[in-house]
Amino acid sequence: MFVFQSAKGGIPVTYLLMWFLVFASLFLLNEVSRRYKMIGLLFFFVMPAVLSVLWFTVLKKSTYTDWFHLAKVYSATAGCIGFWLIRHYENKKRQNRIPPV
């Protein structure tokens, strides 16, 4: 699928730089979506809904829509939504409780 070797057998520096750029971007977007409630809402609810519509309509011939890939993507999204809800859900009982002395 991905071949990171040139014809001479070495790994060009541009491949490594692009790998680090993608890794740093994913790390940064994860931190931003975890920290801010509205950006997390956008990343974990709105963006998957829009991408799902695109995958099953416009990009149907160029995307993997078999059960394994869909189960993998949507289970990871469900996990992200679950942790996002745990982080941003305010429990009213916990807020009204008087701390022990």
The residue to which tokens 């971007």 are assigned: 25
- The predicted model scores a pTM of 0.66
- Residue 27's pLDDT is 94
Selection from 46, 21, 17 nearest residue 33 by Cα: 46
- Residue 73's pLDDT is 92
Residues 6+ apart with CB under 8 A from 80: 43, 44
- Residue 8's pLDDT is 63
Per-residue pLDDT of the chain (101 residues; tens, 9 = 90+): 455 555 566 667 888 899 999 999 999 998 999 889 999 999 999 999 999 999 899 988 888 888 898 899 999 999 989 998 888 887 666 666 666 66
- Residue 68's pLDDT is 92
